[in-house]
Amino acid sequence: MKLSIADMRRNYTRDGLLESQAADDPIAQFGTWFSQAVDVEPNEPNAMMLATVDADGQPHLRTLLLKGFDERGFVFFTNYQSAKGEQLLAHPRAAITFWWHDLERQVRIEGSVEQVSGEESDSYYHSRPLGSRLGAWTSPQSQVISGRDVLEQRLAAVEATYADTPPPRPPHWGGFRLVPQMVEFWQGRPSRLHDRLRYCLEGGNWRRERLAP
């Protein structure tokens, strides 16, 4: 018997999230949950959905990888001339969401966006595998191309250019930091009575509150 989409459901029973269990600071709480996700999730626990908006107010959503976080915010890297790069530069606000299936957890983060320093972008760029560094020079990200052969030809040219020297970071490639103003932690619970703790930044201090599921 084929199961319809309407009948697809899972009862979440793994864990709970009470105020007594949660940190006062959302970055500390994220660090705890992220460490647990690294131990449990089989594939890329740093994968996240990034939402941006264009000049017409149209939201755009895609998956990419978190590359660092601390008390300043959450860092990721991209081509500044890509669709998301241009949207973030023009409208520097965004939202990211993490979904950790095996832990039955979700984290939503909203806030302003800023470019990271050139030094920070350089440091991460030079830590990447050579193929990824060359790829940053090769791909005109988000632009229409006529076929796969365009990328292969461009890559061959980039490889020839940097055959005898390490490629520098492209000026159009670097990092963004999402500076959080809201962080919500969602823990699945039975009967859809999930735990939701939201942290909101007010006057430089974090206020924590519980939301109904």
The pLDDT of 128-137, averaged and rounded, is: 97
196 has binding-site annotation? yes
Q: Which of 192, 207, 208, 210 is catalytic?
A: 192
Q: Could you tell me if residue 70 is inside a domain?
A: yes
pLDDT of residue 50: 98
pLDDT score of 1: 59
Question: Does 178 show up as a binding residue in the annotation?
Answer: no
Residue 132, in any domain of the structure: no
Inside any domain, residue 182: yes
| 10-60: pLDDT as tens digits | 889 899 999 999 999 999 999 999 999 999 998 999 999 999 999 999 999
Q: At 35, phi and psi to the nearest 5? A: -60, -40
CATH number at 198 reads 2.30.110.10
CA distance 5 to 115: 41
- 134 located within any domain: no
Average pLDDT over residues 5-9: 79
35 among annotated binding-site residues:
no
For the segment 51-82, what is each residue's pLDDT rounded down to a tens digit? 999 999 999 999 999 999 999 999 999 999 99
**pTM score, whole prediction:** 0.94
Report the C-alpha gap between 144 and 137 in whole angstroms. Answer: 16
Q: Do the domain assignments include residue 66?
A: yes
For residues 177-203, give the mean pLDDT: 97
| Residues 38 and 45: beta-carbon distance below 8 Å | yes
* Distance from C-alpha of 154 to C-alpha of 139, rounded to nearest angstrom: 8
Give the separation between CA 70 and CA 21, rounded to whole angstroms: 21
Q: How far apart are CA 111 and CA 178, in angstroms?
A: 6
Q: State which residues form the domain around 99.
A: 7-125+173-210
Residue 78 counted as an annotated binding residue: yes
In the chain, how many domains are there? 1
> How does residue 9 score in pLDDT terms, banded at 50, 70 and 90?
confident
Q: Residue 192 catalytic?
A: yes
Long-range contacts of 38-44 (CB under 8 A, 24+ apart): 40/100, 40/102, 40/103, 41/100, 41/101, 41/102, 41/103, 42/102
Instruction: Tell whether 62 is in a known binding site.
Output: yes
Is 172 known to sit in a ligand binding site?
Answer: no
The share of the chain scoring above pLDDT 70, in percent, equals: 99
Residue 186 is labelled as binding a ligand: yes
Whether residue 12 lies inside any domain: the answer is yes
The string of pLDDT tens digits covering residues 71-128 is: 999 999 999 999 999 999 999 999 999 999 999 999 999 999 999 999 999 999 999 9
The verdict on residue 86 lying in a domain is yes
Q: Does residue 158 lie within any of the structural domains?
A: no
Instruction: Please determine, for residue 175, whether its predicted confidence score (pLDDT) is greater than 90.
Output: yes
Which pair of tokens denotes residue 135?
């790829």
